[in-house]
Structure 1
Amino acid sequence: MQKIRKYQTEESILRFSRAYAAQQLPWFAPALYRCRIVITEKVPIAAIDQQMNVYFNPSVVVKISASERKKSLRELGFLWIHEISHILRRHAERAKENGFYPQLWNIAADFEINDSHWEGLSMPEDFPGLLPKDYLLPNGQLAEKYYSLLGKEGGKSERLQRLLDLVMDEGSGVHGHSRIWELASTPEASSKNEVNEMVLSLIRKEVAEQLKQAPGNIPGNWRRWVNEILQPKVDWRKVLRHRVKMAIQLSVGGRLDYSYQRFSRRQSAYHPVFLPSLSGDLEAQIAVVVDTSGSMSAQMLGQATGEVCGIMKRLRVPVTVIPCDARAYEPIRVNTSSDQIKLYQLSGGGGTDMNAGIEAALALPKKPNVIIVLTDGFTPWPVKLPEVSLIFGIFHQGKTSFPTPPMPPFSTSSVIGIDLAKL
């Protein structure tokens, strides 16, 4: 009980400093007040997980708060903005998408956000953060650029080694790797903050919209972030390729199992005991459901057939195409570029129900690892997740919003907008 009473003091200080940060930088309030405060001695200074639980070391809070009141508020406010910046800037997602080494990425992510100057905030004197200029690196770069610059130095670089010794792990909210001190790994998991991808997307958009209207000098890299959130320029082909690859990697291995249909190659050594051998299909199976209903324009259908061949070429695997309007038609196997002629006249032209195409894909003799649905979005959506990965590529003409499947059970990672105006 004594420990709880002690931490109540630190929590009050942190709540007050959060309110101060929200008063100084009101556009960050939607993110700040969505966070849950967790006080633990297991983090060096402060950290954040992917559920927006923010962890503070109590001794750090006490030491900073012991200084003059305004100074302590400026410094604790800085820590608050620093941690939520990792979430707003999608550092965890970016790290996972590129397979970056967590410790080095943590440094690069800190470089990206620490060079921003915010009125009313200051970096803690007793717990200084990492600044790119202190290591002869330019300001205003993205974390990916800093990661590349640091990586070029090699593991034997004394400067890089000093950096690695200084960096303090800030949790899965920075690099995407869970840590043992995060609530998801503790008995308190049932009481952790619950934040899904849709909530994070809404928080980022709300902060970006308020930041766009903010008076005064806003750091240039945050201006760029606002534009990316409100007017995203996404290479959807790259995103599609990445998500399909991930789905294949997760499912192909699971298709292997031991079978007695063919005995082990080492059978002679174990006679008379019969041993099974591994069986299964190592080749990725991709099904593409193409919306051929009356609402699909000639440009959309042409783009859809082009994307089928693009998927086949980039991933070097055959693709099974299922034309579908209100019903599914005969599947078309596309093995080589010359098979593209099979897609010139796709059956359809009636109503719309992509569920029929998804069901047909699941009923294929070889169950697909991933199903891609190319549609304009004007269709009934599945009410539950299938047992395989399902990705929707939705055609639109320069729109910021377009029809999407229900979230939940689906998530933003299941949807890729294909802007025909930018093709």
Structure 2
Amino acid sequence: MIPSAEEALDHEKLYAARLQAVRVRPYLATALFALRAVPTRRVPTMAVDAYWRCYVSPGFVDRTPLEELAGVWVHEVSHLLRDHHGRGERVVRERELTGPGARLRVNIAADFEINDDVYGDGLAEPEGAARASVLGLGEGQLMEDYLRRFTLGPRTADLSWLDCGSGSDGLEREWDLGPDGAHGLSAHERDAVRFRVARGIVGSPGNTPGGWRRWAEEAFQPPQKWRELLGAAVRSATSGSGAGEDYTYGRPARRSAGVPGVVLPSLRRRPPRVCVVVDTSGSVSDAELGAALREVAEISRAVGGRRDLVTVVPCDAAADSVHVLCRAESIPLTGGGGTDLRAGFARALRTRPAPDVVVALTDGQTPWPSTRPPCRTVVGLFPRADSDTWDESDPDHVPDRPPEWARVVEIG
């Protein structure tokens, strides 16, 4: 009689590997212990779903050394902490990617993002682990960026077996138990796990890798929902005639019906161009500048990862340079003097091609343009108490509120 998957699974080895993972990655302990193991022979190795179930192949556990198995635990929980299922769904929808090949690309790109931080320092790297260096790509990038830089082909053939489950790309698998199945975590429980992990990293970063520190800062102080804030600009940028930027066969043109036997491509719409004016005056703290960089990174995600569509203008009382976004951390936020964002707005509107949206990240202690810019405007304000809203040279001065034509949100 063939034993069931539950009976065949070596629980002792599996959970010993998890303890090893906790020893070498203590900042992930809460998340690792939150994963619920579900034995099944339907997965090739180990896989996760959005409800924090970890589907485990008994055969994989038997043949994998404990040290490598510990790394797989960390790998799988990293998909969930970094919300690869939600991000995968969004990127597939926004870029009109279809078919199982597209989901495999998302899974590979997600692996590239997390494997930089998983292995080494006590965790053995298993043979065949997906690393960006295999394709000649640099490390330390996000899934969305990697996805733009490779396609499936001979160099990715060795990764065709990869399947980390719906928790890595958002596509439900046949073995998933779904939202009402046993052993899943509720949305509140999942958020609580992420918050506790992020709080532990921010409170005691120690030698935590940079990728995890950046993630924790964003999770602890989540960026604005720029997809919603830029939604009107997206609709405006894509609604006019000629707004299409390139052709794609991912969604055939409707006129294909009039040409039997021929598939015609449709125009792919361009996300909006965004210019971010960052207040670098002396009244803005280093922590707030760090928050500004996180918002810039989130804006790039909101436009589908198109960093070429995002420019940054550092501004105090003057604004002399415009930086095309490569990595948010590489933008030089120089300044430290007084504040006059009118110069920043003027410089942003002179960029070519002209922006569809101008975003200003500031403490609000600035004069504002007297006329409405010819594009949509969002102002992100760093919070200030009433006692902080004064000019050092004039204690009785209270700065003007952002103009009515700007959408205003609070940062941090």
Structure 1 residue matching 2:47: 3-state secondary structure? strand
CA contact (8 A) 1:11 1:37 kept: no
- Aligned-partner Cα distance in 2 for 1:88–1:419: 30
2:218: which partner in 1?
228
Deviating beyond 6 angstroms after TM superposition, the runs of 4 or more aligned structure 1 residues are none
For normalisation by structure 1, the TM-score amounts to 0.50
Q: Which of the residues 61, 69, 76 maps onto 1:83?
A: 76
Q: CA deviation at 1:420?
A: 3.1
Which of the pair has more CA radius of gyration? Answer: 1
SS at match of 2:11: helix
Contact 2:37 2:53 in 1 (8 A): yes
Question: What's the counterpart of residue 199 of structure 1?
Answer: 189
C-alpha distance in structure 1 between counterparts of 2:89 and 2:410, whole Å: 30
Contact 2:132 2:138 in 1 (8 A): yes
Aligned counterpart, 2:32: 32
Aligned partner of residue 85 in structure 2, secondary structure: helix
SS of 1:115's equivalent in the other structure is: helix
1:183 paired to 2:177: yes
Distance 1:214 1:167, change over 3 A: farther
Whether the 8 Å contact between 2:52 and 2:185 is mirrored in structure 1 is yes
Quote the residue 1:109 is aligned against: 110
Unpaired runs of at least 5, structure 1: 66-71, 246-394, 400-417
Task: Answer 1 or 2: which has greater helix percent.
Answer: 1
Distance 2:212 2:174 in 1: 32
Deviation at 1:213, TM superposition (A): 3.7
Distance in 2 between the 1:39 and 1:58 partners?
A: 7
Residue 36 of structure 2 contacts residue 184 of structure 2 at CA under 8 Å; is this kept in 1? no
Amino acid at match of 1:56: V
CA distance in 2, matches of 1:197, 1:206: 14
Q: TM-score normalised to the size of structure 2?
A: 0.51
Counterpart in the other structure of 1:20 = 20
Give the distance between the partners of 1:95 and 1:191, measured in 2 at CA. 22
Shift of 1:236: 3.4
| Corresponding position of 1:7 | 7
| Structure 1 residues 64 and 233, CA gap change in structure 2 (3 angstroms) | same
Instruction: Give the distance between the partners of 1:134 and 1:422, measured in 2 at CA.
Output: 38
1:87-236 to structure 2, matched below 5 A, reads 87-99=80-92, 101-116=102-117, 117-125=119-127, 128-151=128-151, 157-160=153-156, 162=157, 166-184=160-178, 192-214=182-204, 216-236=206-226
1:5-46, Cα deviation, whole Å (9 max, x unpaired): 973651221122112212222221211111111122211111
* Equivalences for residues 22-421 of structure 1 within 5 A: 22-65=22-65, 72=66, 74-99=67-92, 101-116=102-117, 117-125=119-127, 128-151=128-151, 157-160=153-156, 162=157, 166-184=160-178, 192-214=182-204, 216-236=206-226, 238=228, 241=231, 398=383, 420-421=409-410
* CA offset digits 1:212-235 (Å, max 9, x no partner): 244543222112111111122224
Take 2:42 and 2:176, find their aligned partners in 1: how far apart are those partners?
Answer: 9
Structure 1 residues 59, 220: closer, same or farther in 2, change over 3 A?
same
Note if contact 1:212-1:226 (Cα within 8 Å) is conserved in structure 2.
yes
The residue identity in structure 1 corresponding to 2:74 is I
CA distance in structure 1 between the partners assigned to 2:131 and 2:53 by the alignment: 25
Q: Give the direction of change, closer, same or farther, for the CA distance of 1:22–1:421 in structure 2 (3 Å limit).
A: same
Q: Which residue identity is paired with 2:104?
A: Q
Unaligned regions of 5+ residues in structure 2, if any?
Answer: 236-379, 385-406
Structure 2 CA distance for aligned equivalents of residues 232 and 204 of structure 1: 12
Tell me how far apart the structure 2 counterparts of residues 149 and 82 of structure 1 sit (CA, whole Å): 22
Identity of aligned residues (%): 33
* Residues 1:215 and 1:221: Cα distance change in structure 2 (over 3 Å): closer
| Distance of aligned partners of 1:199 and 1:238 in 2 relative to their CA distance in 1, 3 Å threshold | same
Structure 1 residue 58 displacement after superposition: 1.3
Three-state SS of the structure 2 residue aligned to 1:150 is coil
- Tell me, yes or no, if the aligned pair for 2:31 and 2:193 is still in contact at 8 Å: yes
> CA distance change for structure 1 residues 191 and 94 in 2, over 3 Å: closer, same or farther?
closer
Q: Distance in 2 between matches of 1:239 and 1:91?
A: 22
- Quote the Cα distance in structure 2 between the aligned partners of 1:60 and 1:5: 12
Q: Distance in 1 between matches of 2:409 and 2:229?
A: 16
- Give the whole-Å Cα distance in 2 for the aligned partners of 1:143 and 1:113: 9
Residues 39 and 56 in structure 1, CA contact (< 8 A), matched pair in contact too: yes
